[in-house]
Structure 1
């Protein structure tokens, strides 16, 4: 959400097109690669909170944080003139605390899939396991520690089971 004050200066009779983009890639000698997330048309006289839907990028950032290159805001007048967001009345992070921009995110656990390691603790499984895979298990445990233990217990996941065909008499 971004707060917009009423414009009283040179743009007071204007209509603004406010667009918010996900930055995909930054370049040294040319403009960044951008992905349009949401657009709003507002009058200069409007005042209040503007809401933009950035669900597409926030879901990506949760699953792969390294893709978070930030957001970019653009304000264009009806005549196609690109202007400073402050001139359009938008309050930035240097504005009053109660009017600074912020992001609200709601995530359903079922929508953001996080893979976790699974292991069986049965003796027969451990005895028959190839010893070379034990070093892989150590690296898996360290990556699982990145997650909250309560999340691991409640996560919907597949479980490994040991079945002995000999015990069942199915040799």
Structure 2
């Protein structure tokens, strides 16, 4: 179903992390020319989802050490049948006003299960070391938590962040310069997850081999034009008509009324196939054996059997960046969206 448009307050440019836009441009560039090496895990990803934290909890100066900050994410929109190839937690760090040259250790743990009468069950995910005076996005690997998301069908992801000095003293994450949900919209923390569709157990149909590669008796070979005199007159052909080939087609998302939820692109060149598939079918028509036989039978029984159809023989993917119904920003590689070649079927 078509996602509903996010509310106006969530439609500001900053609501879609710039990271996702960078990923879109990288994936779109890779789709267009297929050259170069795509950044990060794009080469293995069909879908990239970003999640902004819905709930944030602090255990800081008002409490006893250790200090920590928790981030909770709603995972209900994760689709079934997808495999997580990578997952990252991204949080922006500004320079700390205290002891700029001090080394800090930032650790990330998953909240596996909350307990009412004791400390929550935690699972270590990643550790990063940085200077207190550093500024920029801090990236923590949370891929190891993904198995529990999918196996246990968890709807919420809890991540707990600790900051310590080299001598083991706990530091308030806020005083260390790590920004939470009160940060400006372009600098709010989020999780980005890379997915790939699970391999399907259904085998794709095997392509028909070209006739010239088959070692058949001559009596069983398909008829060639010079062997069927009289049936290739102009009355049976497509004189003056265009043979099956690819034609230009630009799909505008604005014309479709989709720009209220599609972020990029504005549209794309989809192309389409059209043209005659009349016997004899030349090699340039990429005809299947079935199409060749169907065309031959059509010559004999034109009222009973139609001509072969002009249809795509090769399709490629295109990437779309959009909002889902929960206002998460999604980058999906939609397969079979662009016609690359046409043929007779």
CA contact (8 A) 1:5 1:91 kept: yes
Residue 113 of structure 2 corresponds to residue 25 of structure 1: yes
Q: CA deviation at 1:29?
A: 2.7
The aligned counterpart of 1:6 is 95
Alignment of 1:126-137 (within 5 A): none
1:48-79 superposed Cα distances (whole Å, 9 cap, x missing partner): 00111111213431343337451111111112
RMSD between aligned alpha carbons?
A: 2.2
Q: Distance in 2 between matches of 1:38 and 1:31?
A: 20
The aligned counterpart of 2:179 is 91
Structure 1, unaligned runs of 5 or more: 114-171
26-35 or 48-57, which deviates more: 26-35
- Name the TM-score, length of structure 1 as normaliser: 0.59
Q: Distance in 2 between matches of 1:11 and 1:90?
A: 15
CA contact (8 A) 1:37 1:54 kept: yes
Q: Distance in 2 between matches of 1:31 and 1:96?
A: 32
The aligned counterpart of 1:127 is none
SS of equivalent to 1:103: strand
Q: CA deviation at 1:81?
A: 1.0
Shift in CA distance, 56/47, structure 1 to aligned 2, threshold 3 Å? same
Q: CA deviation at 1:45?
A: 1.4
1:85-111 superposed Cα distances (whole Å, 9 cap, x missing partner): 111110111111111101111111128
Q: Distance in 2 between matches of 1:104 and 1:30?
A: 31
Higher relative contact order (CA 8 A, sep 6+): 1
- Name the TM-score, length of structure 2 as normaliser: 0.30
SS of equivalent to 2:141: coil
Q: Distance in 2 between matches of 1:22 and 1:67?
A: 14
SS of equivalent to 2:133: coil
SS of equivalent to 1:23: strand
The aligned counterpart of 1:155 is none
> Which structure has the highest strand share of the two?
2
> Which structure has the highest helix share of the two?
1
Count of residue pairs brought into register by the alignment:
112
